[in-house]
Amino acid sequence: MNMMFNLVVVVQVISALSIIALVLLQHGKGADMGAAFGSGASGSLFGATGSSNFMSKSTGVAAAIFFGATLALSLMANQRATTVGGGVMDKVVKPVPVTGAGAIPTTVPAAPAASAPAAVAPVASTPAGAIPK
């Protein structure tokens, strides 16, 4: 199935590139200089265009192949068995709150060691009013 999917993608890309090339190579019917200034060539602007040439027929065929490949890709994408994963937060486990007697801590944290002297904040030698501002 994967090889078929890749083949359809390649066909779609080739048909898209061919559509681009064929459209750019075609000569538009309003591209004449006479059509811009209203001379006799612009009279056929809304008239019958005549038979279509090879390039316009090729563009139609390439467009049909492109639409068919797009339809085939959409059908293949719907038939693929993919596991839809949730977000990152779906895997987070919320801790359960403890209620009752289990919520009360039974051990008291140890006091800091008495051998280490406590850090004493430096005392200012001048009164607070004497500090220059």
Specify the higher pLDDT residue, 17 or 91.
17
Q: What CA–CA distance (Å, rounded) separates 133 from 117? A: 35
Half-sphere exposure of 50 (CA within 13 A, CB side): 5
Q: What CA–CA distance (Å, rounded) separates 65 from 14? A: 10
Place of tokens 């289990």: 102
What's the pLDDT at 46?
A: 46
Half-sphere exposure of 100 (CA within 13 A, CB side): 2
What's the pLDDT at 73?
A: 93
At 31-75, the pLDDT tens digits run: 555 555 655 544 444 445 555 688 889 999 999 999 999 999 999
What's the pLDDT at 45?
A: 47
At 70-121, the pLDDT tens digits run: 999 999 888 866 566 677 777 788 888 888 777 777 776 666 666 655 565 5
Residue 74 one-letter amino acid:
S
Burial of 15 (C-beta count, 10 Å sphere; 0-12/13-18/19+): buried
Place of tokens 């750019």: 24
Half-sphere exposure of 133 (CA within 13 A, CB side): 2
Residue 21 has pLDDT above 80, yes or no: yes
For the question of whether the overall pTM of this predicted structure is more than 0.95, the answer is no
